[in-house]
């Protein structure tokens, strides 16, 4: 009869990644159940018992490395997730909304090591729930701590918080004015009134680093500019998370940068595009928070040929970015290049973005046609070189930042564009 080894476990609230050794967001995450680990050969069985008194949706955190499958069982219901973490242990979190069930048992199979497991909950909706971006993209939005948005911290970089909004209008109330203040040509550094924002488009997804957030809220306070209630709520959350801090000097800069990044994606976006948008924004957060990563990325961009730099300037200008901002320019080249899997790179840039730019700006046709003819491998070569840097710092490759995927996810989920001709 096979022998099962019983291992004791406690709830562990920390994440160790290849980029940082960092904890889950401090405070307001409490133990909400018990777990028991049973090991047999290459299979691990995790038994889960959640507290009946939990007043917020609980989550399950697994600290593991490697890859394989998670078979979730709840009564007669079963769901399967695929996971891929890499050689360095990280934490991944699972919620009822990840698959539609809260499991009583998880059977883990594959090539992996499980180091700990636990059940936790957050005390209120302003506390970020630790999550892999796979949960954020594929879940059914069932945490319901707030009807308009859910708030997460990214398992790879816990100082990165992510607003998953119910629709674009909620997202706009939170971040549209910030988009113009930080990135929009002709508006950077200015606070745009609600009236002037009405018929202007922000972004479908957002990313903001700590110093820009501090500058935005400092300028609003110094000028007695009336922010909306969502923006004031955002400021409170940023202060609570330490992404911005109150300045001891006061004056025209009442807030200063802390540590962290805020991102946003909307539920109004189709799932396949949500995945690409959130991958894009998470790539920005890595760029924001790691200086040596930025330097290595900068070296790749600096090695591009003048014609390649010119193409990117024209493309990003068409996309309404301030291409005179070198930091922003390098950051956007990186995120656009790495947001999709390598085998989609040419289809995206040759078959989609270049065509859209030419359709909107017919005067670019001669330049674009000549560039695609004379430098046919430019996009894949750039993505490959940037991807090498990404792997060195995160263990992840282009287009694949998530740890968790539904086992029945069709391959067509990632194929958004027809082949380039």
| Domain contains 366 | yes
For residue 22, what pLDDT is reported? 30
And the tokens for 316?
Answer: 């990003």
| Backbone phi, psi, residue 402, to 5° | -75, 155
| Domain contains 390 | yes
For residue 418, what pLDDT is reported? 59
Q: Give me the torsion for CA of 255, 257, 260, 265, rounded to 10°.
A: 60
Q: How far is Cα 26 from Cα 246, in angstroms, rounded to an integer? A: 19
| Domain contains 374 | yes
Q: 388 lies in which domain range?
A: 290-421
| Domain contains 176 | no
Among 340, 336, 343, residue whose Cα is nearest residue 399:
340
CATH number of the CATH domain containing 117: 2.60.120
Give 23-55 pLDDT, tens digit per residue: 343 456 677 677 788 877 677 998 988 876 666
For residue 54, what pLDDT is reported? 63
For residue 10, what pLDDT is reported? 34
Residues of the chain with pLDDT below 70 are 1-29, 32, 41, 52-56, 123, 142-144, 250-251, 418-421
Q: How far is Cα 49 from Cα 72, in angstroms, rounded to an integer? A: 13
| Domain contains 164 | no
| Domain contains 148 | no
In the chain, the number of structural domains is 2
Cβ(64)–Cβ(89) below 8 Å: yes
Q: Which long-range contacts (CB under 8 A, 24 or more apart) does 257-260 make?
A: 257/209, 257/210, 257/211, 257/213, 257/214, 258/210, 258/214, 259/159, 259/210, 259/289, 260/159, 260/160, 260/161, 260/210, 260/289
And the tokens for 372?
Answer: 């695609």
Of the residues 58, 92, 124, which one is the last residue of a structural domain? 124
Does residue 380 sit in helix, strand or coil? helix
Cβ(20)–Cβ(149) below 8 Å: no
Of the residues 74, 109, 124, which one is the last residue of a structural domain? 124
Does residue 277 sit in helix, strand or coil? helix
For residue 398, what pLDDT is reported? 94
| Domain contains 62 | yes
- DSSP letter at 17 equals -
Buried b (16+ CB within 10 A) or exposed e, 112-148: bebbbbbbbbbeebebbbbbbbbbbbbbeeebebeee
For residue 251, what pLDDT is reported? 67
Of the residues 91, 124, 157, which one is the last residue of a structural domain? 124
- DSSP letter at 418 equals P
| Domain contains 298 | yes
Does residue 71 sit in helix, strand or coil? strand
For residue 290, what pLDDT is reported? 95
């Amino acid at each position: 009869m096979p022998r099962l080894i019983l291992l004791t476990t406690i709830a562990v609230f920390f994440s160790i990644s290849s980029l940082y050794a960092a904890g889950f967001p401090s405070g307001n995450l409490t133990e909400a159940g018990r777990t028991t680990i049973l090991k047999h050969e290459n299979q691990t069985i995790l038994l889960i018992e959640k507290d009946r008194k939990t007043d917020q949706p609980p989550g399950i955190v697994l600290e593991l490395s490697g890859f394989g499958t998670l078979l979730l069982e709840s009564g007669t219901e079963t769901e399967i997730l695929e996971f891929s973490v890499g050689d360095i242990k990280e934490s991944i979190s699972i919620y009822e909304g990840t698959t539609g069930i809260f499991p009583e048992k998880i059977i883990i199979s594959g090539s992996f090591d499980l180091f700990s497991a636990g059940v936790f909950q957050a005390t209120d909706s302003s506390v970020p729930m630790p999550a892999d971006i796979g949960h954020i993209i594929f879940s059914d939005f069932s945490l319901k701590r707030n009807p308009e948005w859910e708030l997460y911290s990214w398992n790879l970089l816990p100082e990165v918080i992510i607003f998953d909004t119910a629709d674009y209008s909620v997202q706009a109330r939170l971040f549209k004015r910030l988009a113009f203040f930080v990135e929009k040509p002709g508006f950077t550094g200015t606070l745009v009134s609600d009236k002037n924002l009405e018929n202007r488009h922000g972004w479908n997804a957002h990313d903001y680093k700590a110093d820009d957030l501090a500058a935005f809220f400092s300028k609003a306070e110094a000028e007695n500019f009336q922010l909306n209630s969502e923006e004031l709520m955002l400021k409170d959350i940023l202060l609570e998370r330490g992404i911005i801090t109150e300045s001891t000097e006061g004056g025209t800069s009442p807030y200063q940068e802390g540590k962290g990044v805020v991102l946003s994606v909307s539920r109004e976006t189709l799932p396949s595009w949500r995945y690409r948008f959130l991958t894009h924004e998470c790539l920005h957060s890595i760029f924001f928070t790691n200086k040596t990563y930025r330097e290595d990325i900068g070296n790749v961009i600096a090695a591009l040929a003048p014609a390649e730099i010119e193409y990117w300037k024209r493309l990003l200008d068409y996309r309404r970015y301030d291409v005179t901002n070198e930091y922003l320019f390098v950051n956007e080249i990186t995120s656009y290049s790495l947001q999709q899997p390598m085998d989609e790179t040419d289809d995206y840039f040759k078959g989609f973005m270049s065509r859209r730019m030419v359709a909107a700006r017919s005067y670019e046709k001669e330049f674009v046609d000549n560039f695609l003819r004379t430098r046919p491998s430019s996009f894949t070569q750039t993505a490959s070189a940037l991807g090498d840097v990404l792997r060195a710092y995160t263990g992840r490759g282009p287009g694949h930042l998530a740890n968790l995927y539904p086992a029945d996810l069709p391959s067509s989920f990632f194929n958004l564009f027809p082949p380039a001709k």
